[in-house]
C-alpha cells in the first residue's frame, strides 16, 4: 500500500516505517497520524511481520513534534480530536503484540518524543535530542507524553522536561532511562539491525506474552499483573516453538523457531 507521508520497507520479517516529511522535520500532521495508525494496524495483522522499526526520513529529525502550523488554527474541539487520534496511535503501537523499535537519529521533540516513548525500544544516535517543548508554545503534551514520561522516567524527570521545555541530549536521556542504548551515528543502523534480527528470530508467542504481561501488568495491582503473566505463560504451551525451545535445550543445540 502506498502512503503519502510514510515509507514502508520489508526486509525479511522486519518492517521499517519512516515518517517522510523531511522538509518539515517529519512533523506529525493529521494525515501522518492517520497513515501511521493504518500502517501499524497492517503490521499487526501481517503474520510475516515480526518486528517493526520506526524512524524518520533524513539525518536531522526522527520527528520534531506535532505539526504546529496545522494546530495553530484549531478550535478546542479540533484539538480534542487531534489529541485523541494521536493518543490512539500511541496505544496501537504500544499494544501491537510485536516489538517496535524507535530508531532515533536526530530530534525527537514533542509528539516525536511521545511516539518514541510508545515504542518498546529506543535506540538513539549520539546526535539525537529529546524534549517536550510544548510549554514554550503555551501548550502541554497531547499524545500521552505526560503519562508515558512519568511512567518511564518518574515524576521528577516528567515535571522537569515538561515544565522547562528544554532539550536533552542522548546521554542524559540514557541516564533517565528514556532510551535503551546510545551509539555513534555511524553505528545506528547496525545496532538497530542486530536488535531487530534477534527479535525477529525469537518465538513470537513468547514475545507477545512478554509484551502483554509487562505492558498490561504495569498498569494494575500485582495480583492482576501476575494473572496476566500466568495466562501468557500458559498460552506458550500451545506453541510448537515452546516444545522446540525446551527440546533444543535438552539436546544441547540451538532452537529453530518456526513462528507457530
Ligand atoms: N511543526 C511544523 N513544522 C515544523 C515543526 C513542527 N513541529 N518542526 C519543524 N518544522 C518545520 C519548520 O517550520 C521549517 O519549515 P519551513 O522551512 O517551511 O519554514 C522546517 O521544519 C525546518 O525547521 P527549522 O526550524 O527551520 O529547523 P532548525 O534546524 O532551525 O530548528 C528545531 C530545528 C527542531 C529546533 C525547530 O524546528 C523546532 O523547534 N521545531 C519545533 C519543535 C516543537 O516545538 N515541537 C513540539 C510541537 S507540539
Instruction: Kindly report which listed range (160-174, 175-189, 216-230) carries the lowest average pLDDT score.
Output: 216-230
99 and 76 in one domain?
yes
Q: Is 133 in the pocket of ligand 1 (CB under 6 A)?
A: yes
Which pLDDT score, from 0 to 100, does residue 260 have? 86
Whole-angstrom distance, CA of residue 212 vs CA of residue 96: 9
Residue nearest to atom 40 of ligand 1 (CA): 64
Whole-angstrom distance, CA of residue 20 vs CA of residue 8: 10
Rounded to the nearest angstrom, the gap between the alpha carbon of residue 207 and the centroid of all alpha carbons in its chain is 15
Residue nearest to atom 34 of ligand 1 (CA): 64
Looking at the predicted structure, is the pLDDT value of residue 150 above 90? yes
Tell me the CA distances in angstroms from 96 to 41, 43, 51, 165, one per residue in order.
8, 8, 10, 30
- Give the domain extent around 96: 6-200
**Domain with 136 in it: what CATH number?**
3.90.226.10
Q: How far is the CA of 59 from the centre of ligand 1 (A)?
A: 14
Which pLDDT score, from 0 to 100, does residue 251 have? 97
Looking at the predicted structure, is the pLDDT value of residue 170 above 90? yes
Residue 184: which pLDDT band, with cuts at 50, 70 and 90?
very high
pLDDT tens digits, 189-221: 999 999 999 999 999 999 999 999 999 988 999
Residue 56: which pLDDT band, with cuts at 50, 70 and 90?
very high
Residue 61 lies in a domain: yes
Catalogue the active-site residues: 114, 134
224 and 146 in one domain?
no
Which pLDDT score, from 0 to 100, does residue 218 have? 87
Residue 259 lies in a domain: no
Q: How far is the CA of 91 from the centre of ligand 1 (A)?
A: 25
Which one of 181, 200, 219 terminates a domain?
200
159 and 144 in one domain?
yes
- The three cell numbers of residue 7 are 515509507
List, as one string, the DSSP characters of 20-56: --GGGTT-B-HHHHHHHHHHHHHHHH-TT--EEEEEE
User: Is-above-0.85 flag for pTM?
Assistant: yes
Ligand 1 pocket test: which of 60, 65, 72 has the largest number of ligand atoms within 8 Å of its C-beta?
65
Looking at the predicted structure, is the pLDDT value of residue 188 above 80? yes
Rounded to the nearest angstrom, the gap between the alpha carbon of residue 65 and the centroid of all alpha carbons in its chain is 15
Residue nearest to atom 30 of ligand 1 (CA): 25
Q: Is 129 in the pocket of ligand 1 (CB under 6 A)?
A: no
133 and 48 in one domain?
yes
30 and 73 in one domain?
yes
As for how many domains the chain has, the answer is: 2
192 and 158 in one domain?
yes
Amino acid at each position: 500500500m502506498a502512503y503519502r507521508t510514510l515509507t514502508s520497507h520489508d526486509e525479511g520479517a522486519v518492517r521499517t516505517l519512516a515518517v517522510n516529511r523531511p522538509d518539515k522535520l517529519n512533523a506529525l500532521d493529521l494525515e501522518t497520524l492517520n497513515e501511521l495508525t493504518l500502517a501499524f494496524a497492517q503490521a499487526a495483522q501481517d503474520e510475516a511481520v515480526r518486528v517493526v522499526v520506526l524512524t524518520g526520513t533524513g539525518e536531522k529529525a526522527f520527528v520534531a513534534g506535532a505539526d504546529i502550523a496545522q494546530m495553530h488554527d484549531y478550535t478546542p474541539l479540533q484539538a480534542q480530536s487531534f489529541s485523541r487520534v494521536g493518543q490512539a496511535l500511541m496505544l496501537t503501537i504500544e499494544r501491537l503484540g510485536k516489538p517496535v523499535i524507535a530508531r532515533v537519529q536526530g530530534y525527537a521533540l514533542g509528539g516525536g518524543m511521545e511516539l518514541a516513548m510508545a515504542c518498546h525500544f529506543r535506540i538513539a544516535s549520539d546526535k539525537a535530542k529529546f524534549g517536550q517543548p510544548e510549554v514554550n508554545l503555551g501548550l502541554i503534551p497531547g499524545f500521552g507524553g505526560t503519562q508515558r514520561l512519568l511512567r518511564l522516567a518518574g515524576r521528577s524527570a516528567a515535571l522537569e522536561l515538561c515544565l522547562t521545555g528544554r532539550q536533552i541530549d542522548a546521554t542524559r536521556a540514557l541516564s533517565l532511562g528514556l532510551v535503551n542504548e546510545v551509539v555513534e551515528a555511524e553505528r545506528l543502523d547496525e545496532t538497530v539491525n542486530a536488535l531487530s534480527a534477534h527479535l525477529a528470530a525469537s518465538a513470537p508467542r513468547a514475545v507477545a506474552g512478554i509484551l502483554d504481561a509487562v505492558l498490561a501488568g504495569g498498569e494494575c495491582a500485582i495480583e492482576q499483573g501476575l494473572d496476566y503473566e500466568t495466562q501468557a505463560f500458559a498460552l506458550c504451551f500451545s506453541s510448537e516453538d515452546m516444545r522446540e525451545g525446551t527440546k533444543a535445550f535438552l539436546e544441547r543445540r540451538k532452537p529453530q523457531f518456526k513462528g507457530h
